[in-house]
Amino acid sequence: MSNNRYEEDGSDWVEKEVAIYGTSNDFEDYYTFQPTRKGSKTPRCSPVQKESKTLLRLKVLCVLMAAGILILSICCLLLTLENNKRKNCHNQLQTDPSDHLMSLENNDMNNTSNQLQTEISVMLANNRRLQNETKQLKDKNEVMRINNRRLQDDVKNLKLRIEGLKRSKCPDGWERFGCSCYYKSTKKASWTDGRSFCLQEGSDLVVINSVEEQNFLAKLNQKGESWIGLYLGWSSQKENYVRIWVDGLSSTEICWESEKTPYPFQSHIAVFLNAEGRMAELDKNDSKNYICEM
């Protein structure tokens, strides 16, 4: 198959012939010389080579296009992922703060509720404790009220007794001072025997409670030495011997003799009133007068 064309070059016209092959057997390498211009011949490539180069260029272009499409697809995918990530972050920023705040508020409410329950429990316990203490105070107040009434009755009875003693007479041979009656023996005896006599008379050896009483006894005991109700006894608290009155009270050191004679056996020591009305220590077995008080 052939096709005739005419090319205009200036004023000359050249007729070219192009061969078109329909099968693969027609692809053969050859050169043909066609007159391009009058009087000249130039070599040129065959149509097969031109087509091969064109196909190669198309293949390279397709590869480049495929690579570009792949790169564009990857970029689009990355952009889509980044966009989704941003949307998620935006949605999280919109939703999470409120949820977080609600969670914090719920935790705070729970903590506050637990704290309030604990405080209520403590308050209830304190209330019960206060009620118990109030009850105990009421009981103590009642006991104190009863004791106060009892003390008032005792004071009243004591006043009546004092008035009665003032009006009453002491037994024969006894002398009154204040509310008490005193007897000074005419016979001498040991401290133990003298106390036995006083107890038989319903009294005991005298217990000195004041300086005035001691001055009265000094006049009663003029020019004599008499046993009184004071002796040395063992004190488990002090772990030593101390002066004790026969009524169980500890001695107060008033008007003692300046010189005291130490004794090896302190459990045998008692106190007497000397001629000057001052107290001094002596062995219980010595014989002296004694003074009773009732």
Which three-class secondary structure state does DSSP give residue 239?
Answer: coil
Are the beta carbons of 205 and 229 closer than 8 angstroms? yes
Are the beta carbons of 270 and 232 closer than 8 angstroms? yes
166 token code pair: 């003032």
Q: What is the pTM of this model?
A: 0.44
Which three-class secondary structure state does DSSP give residue 151?
Answer: helix
pLDDT computed for residue 206 by the predictor = 92
184 token code pair: 């000074």
Between CA 63 and CA 68 the distance in angstroms is 8
Query: Exposed e or buried b for every residue in 236-257, given b needs 16+ CB within 10 A?
Result: eeeeeeebbbbeeeebeeeeee
Task: State which residues of the chain have pLDDT below 70.
Answer: 1-48, 92-101, 104, 163-167, 249-266
What Rg do the C-alpha atoms of the chain give, in angstroms? 70
pLDDT computed for residue 28 by the predictor = 43
CATH number of the domain located at residue range(s) 175-293 in this protein = 3.10.100.10
**Residue ranges of the domains in the chain?**
2-44, 175-293
Our measurement of the distance from residue 162's CA atom to the centroid of its chain's CA atoms, rounded to an integer in Å, reads 60
